[in-house]
Amino acid sequence: MFGMIVKAVPKRPKELGLLIVVGGPGASGSSTISKMLAAKFNLRRYYSGGLMRQYGADMGMDIHQFTKYLEESGRGKEFDHKVDSSLLKHAFEKDVIIDAKVFAAICPKFQIPATVRIWLDSDLDTRTKRSFMKKGIDVDVNSQEYKDERAKLKERYDLDSRRFKESYGIDYTNPKLYNDIVIDTSKLNEANTLNLVLKLLEDGGYLKQQ
């Protein structure tokens, strides 16, 4: 099933409204922006990270531990496909936003006509700081706690890159191959990022296609 590749992607039926796909590495802010877009356009939001976290929690692991487990156990493809099978069903609902790291890349393989695919990136240090901000923790960048979190995010990115390559043949390090809009948010706050996304959606005419 997941090895199937289809060249032509049909246009999304008008009656289904919007399908916005948002992705980004851990702590990039992609989930925050996807929530803001969901509120802006009244979309139902589906989050692959939440599913993965729940699978990990059911096995007594946090997301970092679970990501390592997937590689060490060789079960990465099994869980990736389990998550995406769920997301694929939601993609044909009316007015949805899918927050997932690789969904933009697999859309063409399953003839999923997304309205727009957006990737939000940021550098590792910015993502580390945002990780602590999300937890409401003020930490010194020279502290061991900061260094440990930075190392975890880096390792998780590398683990995801290898797993997605194995599961789908996707080059996770090159999001421009799979997304319509790619933004480096390292120097942007949430409001500025949202405003830029909205401007690019308007300039690109993505919403007019509906």
- CATH number of domain containing 150: 3.40.50.300
Gap between the Cα atoms of 106 and 111, Å rounded: 9
Residue 204 placed within a domain: no
Whole-model pTM: value is: 0.91
Angle, CA of 78, 148 and 184, to the nearest 5°: 70
The pLDDT, as a whole number, for residue 74 is 95
Task: Pull the structure tokens for residue 163.
Answer: 């797993």
Task: Specify if 176 maps to a domain.
Answer: yes
55 part of a folded domain: yes
pLDDT tens digits, one per residue of 11-36? 889 999 999 999 999 999 999 999 99
Section 139-165 average pLDDT: 96
DSSP track, 91-145? TTSSSEEEE-SSHHHHTGGGT---SEEEEEE--HHHHHHHHHHHHT----TTSHH
* Residues of the domain holding 27: 18-193
Within a domain: 198: no
| Total domains, the chain | 1
Answer yes or no: is 28 within a domain. yes
Whether 153 maps to a domain, the answer reads yes
Q: Is residue 84 part of a domain?
A: yes
Reported as a pLDDT band with limits 50, 70 and 90, residue 209 is: low
199 lies in some domain: no
Over residues 46-76, the pLDDT tens digits come to 999 999 999 999 999 999 999 999 999 999 9
